Each structure stands twice: as structure tokens, then as C-alpha cells.
């Protein structure tokens, strides 16, 4: 009897030690992942700052320079710090394939084969929608917004834009569009997990319409034009998402 108790105790200790060892292994792998990602971003930042930043800054300034508007800086370090910010964004973009690959290698062993296929497809679709959102905003919405602001202020003052504030405004304008274009993917995941149903979404259209424009007001700079420019595509994407939910089967039905 005593021997059995000792054996059970030893087995329990071995299981605890095994779990602890497995946890430590995963934590070390996560630490390695974070370090490698940070190094990749630093390298991307250096490449962006020394080689790509001038061309990217010219592209960023194009909507303003094409309209003959002077861009200034009001602090001694403002021009340099703005280039640092842009270079950091370039570095993240350059490092993103490596970061995604390392992250995928980290989580892939814990996934089933059908989950691997699903995540791959969703990731590619999400990336495509994000890029479409950014491109749509820059090509159509942003230039209209710039024209609107210039017309609104042309009789009040001469436009001389601070480079830091202009770049900040640009990215605060573009990023919400990229995020919002992920709505169909988010709704697919919610429907797949059984969190939302088509009937609920169809009945709640008027509440969603109101909520979308409230969200647009929060995500965009404080002006009606940018809010409408974001709110309308958001609602169109919501309607697309409703149809996606309608044809998506919940996870529990697939497994049954």
C-alpha cells in the first residue's frame, strides 16, 4: 500500500516536472521569437532610414506638394523625428514577412491540419483586404479630404503645414480604413465560432448603422468628411459580412 502511494507520488511529481519543463520551453521559444522580431524591426528601420525614407517621404508629401503647399517644421528636431517615425513604419513593413513566418512556426505545431488551412486562407484574405483598404483610402478618399480642407480654409489663412502633424494626420487617416476592411473576415470568424447569427445581424441593421458612424467619428480625424468617407465603406462591408455570415456554418455543425 505504502509502495503504491510512493509510486503515485513519484508519477505525479514527474508529470508536474514535465509540465513545468514544457512551459519553460515555450517561454524560452517565445522570448527568442520576440528578440528575433525586435532585431528584424531594427534592421528594417536602418534600411528604411538610410535607403528608402527619402523616396517614401516624397510619396507621402505628393498630395500636398502637387497642390503647391509649403510644408514646414516648427521645432529643431521635428524633421528628423518625423523621418524616424516613417522609417520605423518602413522597418515594420519590411520585417513583417519574417515576423509572420516566425510567429507561424511558433503556433503551427499546436494546430490541426484543417486549422492550418483555415488560418492560411484567412491570413491571406485579411492581408489583401487591409492593403485594399489602404489603397482605396489613399487613392480616392484622402485626396478628396485634402481638397475639402483646403477649400474650407482658403479664405481664412495661408496653409503652411507642419511636417510632423501632416504625417500623423496621413497615417491616422489611412490606418482605420485598413482595419475596417477586415470586417468581413472578423464576421466570418465570429459566425464560424457561433458567436453571431444571420437573423441577428439582419434585424440589427439600424443599430449597426448608427454604431458604425459613431465608430467612424472615433477612428478618424474630427471632421464630417472623413467620418462619412469611412462610415459608408464600413456599412457596405457590414452588408457583405452579413451575406458571409448567412452562408457560413457554425463550427459545431461542421464537427457534427
Q: What confidence tens digit (pLDDT) does each residue in 181-217 have?
A: 898 898 898 888 888 888 888 888 888 888 888 877 7
- Residue 54 CA from chain centroid, whole number: 25
Task: Kindly state the average pLDDT of the residues 49-71.
Answer: 91
Give the confidence band of 160 by pLDDT, cuts at 50, 70, 90: confident
**Residue 223 confidence (pLDDT) above 80:** no
pLDDT of residue 41: 96
Give the confidence band of 229 by pLDDT, cuts at 50, 70, 90: confident
Is the separation of the CB atoms in 225 and 145 below 8 Å? yes
pLDDT, tens only, 84-142: 999 999 999 999 999 999 999 888 888 888 888 888 899 999 999 999 989 988 887 88
Compute the distance between CA of residue 176 and CA of residue 16 in angstroms, rounded to an integer: 46
Compute the distance between CA of residue 153 and CA of residue 71 in angstroms, rounded to an integer: 16
Using N-to-C axis directions, what is the helix angle for 163-180 and 113-136, rounded to 10°? 140
CA geometry: angle at 172 spanning 76 and 163, to 5°? 25
With H, G, I as helix, E, B as strand and everything else as coil, classify residue 206: helix
Please, which residues have CB within 8 angstroms of residue 118's CB and are 6 or more apart in sequence?
Answer: none
**Residue 35 confidence (pLDDT) above 80:** yes
| Listed residue (102, 112, 95) closest to 43, CA to CA | 95
Which grid cell sits at 130? 487591409
Compute the distance between CA of residue 167 and CA of residue 159 in angstroms, rounded to an integer: 15
**Residue 48 confidence (pLDDT) above 90:** yes
pLDDT of residue 253: 46
| Listed residue (232, 214, 241, 243) closest to 129, CA to CA | 241
pLDDT of residue 85: 95
Q: Specify the higher pLDDT residue, 40 or 196.
A: 40
The runs of H, that is alpha helices, within the chain are 2-47, 53-65, 78-107, 113-136, 142-153, 163-180, 183-192, 198-203, 205-219, 224-247, 251-255
Compute the distance between CA of residue 230 and CA of residue 136 in angstroms, rounded to an integer: 11
Compute the distance between CA of residue 208 and CA of residue 197 in angstroms, rounded to an integer: 14
The whole-model pTM stands at: 0.79
Amino acid at each position: 500500500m505504502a509502495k503504491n502511494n510512493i509510486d503515485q507520488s513519484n508519477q505525479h511529481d514527474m508529470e508536474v516536472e514535465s509540465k513545468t519543463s514544457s512551459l519553460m520551453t515555450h517561454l524560452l521559444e517565445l522570448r527568442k521569437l520576440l528578440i528575433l522580431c525586435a532585431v528584424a524591426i531594427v534592421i528594417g528601420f536602418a534600411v528604411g532610414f538610410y535607403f528608402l525614407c527619402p523616396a517614401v517621404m516624397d510619396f507621402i508629401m505628393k498630395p500636398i506638394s502637387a497642390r503647391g503647399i509649403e510644408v514646414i517644421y516648427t521645432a529643431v528636431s521635428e524633421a528628423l523625428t518625423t523621418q524616424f517615425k516613417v522609417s520605423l513604419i518602413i522597418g515594420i513593413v519590411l520585417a513583417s514577412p519574417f515576423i509572420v513566418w516566425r510567429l507561424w512556426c511558433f503556433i503551427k505545431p499546436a494546430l490541426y491540419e484543417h486549422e492550418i488551412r483555415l488560418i492560411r486562407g484567412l491570413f491571406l484574405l485579411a492581408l489583401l483586404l487591409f492593403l485594399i483598404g489602404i489603397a482605396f483610402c489613399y487613392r480616392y478618399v484622402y485626396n478628396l479630404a485634402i481638397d475639402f480642407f483646403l477649400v474650407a480654409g482658403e479664405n481664412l489663412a495661408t496653409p503652411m503645414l507642419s511636417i510632423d502633424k501632416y504625417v500623423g494626420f496621413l497615417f491616422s487617416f489611412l490606418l482605420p480604413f485598413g482595419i475596417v476592411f477586415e470586417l468581413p473576415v472578423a464576421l466570418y470568424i465570429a459566425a464560424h465560432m457561433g458567436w453571431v447569427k444571420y437573423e441577428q445581424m439582419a434585424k440589427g441593421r439600424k443599430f449597426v448603422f448608427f454604431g458604425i458612424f459613431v465608430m467612424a467619428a472615433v477612428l478618424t480625424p474630427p471632421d464630417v468628411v472623413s467620418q462619412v468617407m469611412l462610415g459608408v465603406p464600413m456599412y457596405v462591408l457590414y452588408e457583405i459580412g452579413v451575406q458571409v455570415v448567412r452562408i457560413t456554418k457554425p463550427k459545431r455543425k461542421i464537427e457534427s
